[in-house]
Amino acid sequence: MADSSFDVVSKVDRQEVDNALNQAAKELSTRYDFRGTGAGIEWSGEEKIVLTADTEERVKAALEVFKEKLIRRDISLKAFEAGDPAASGKTYKVTGTLIQGISQENAKKITKKIRDEGPKGVKAQIQGDELRVSSKKRDDLQAVIALLKGADLDVALQFVNYR
């Protein structure tokens, strides 16, 4: 019998992020406490999101609205990294970045965790920005998935290509 395997990836569905951004923009334009504050949210390139408002408190509140919309759309906040509010002219800006892919450093942490705490006979290989985990037994793979879901890692993980 051949080895069973699955891939550990860190990817964000851009369409879901776009939906969350549009919902947040709609809420910022209609909510009474954001009226007249110049609060807005928009894409800046493929991976960056810019929030603007007249005051630092308003831009922080707009960021919280956006984070709330991401959570509602089942997107982990570990996949979104927001900077500090910065004054630019009369407005304040916060630039956020979507984080995709598993860095080499995090991949090494994950493989070490699988080797140390996972079942025997499970192999983890780093393949670019994802990990391939393989084993003879499917039960061992499910144990590894449970182990990684329970672990507090710096990356939002998804499990794909379970064979």
* pLDDT tens-digit map of 77-130: 999 999 999 998 899 999 999 999 999 999 999 999 999 998 999 999 999 899
Cα 109-163-8 angle, rounded to 5 deg: 20
DSSP-based helix, strand, coil % in the chain, nearest 5: 40, 30, 30
Q: Same structural domain for residues 112 and 38?
A: no
Question: Which residue range forms the structural domain that includes residue 124?
Answer: 4-10+102-160
The three-state secondary structure class of 130 is: strand
* Residue % of the chain over a pLDDT of 90: 84
Q: Same structural domain for residues 146 and 77?
A: no
Q: Is 129 exposed, middle or buried (0-12, 13-18, 19+ CB in 10 A)?
A: middle
**Domain's final residue, options 44, 66, 98:** 98
Nearest to 65 by CA among 47, 53, 79: 53
pTM value is 0.87
pLDDT of amino acid 37? 86
What's the structural domain count of the chain?
A: 2
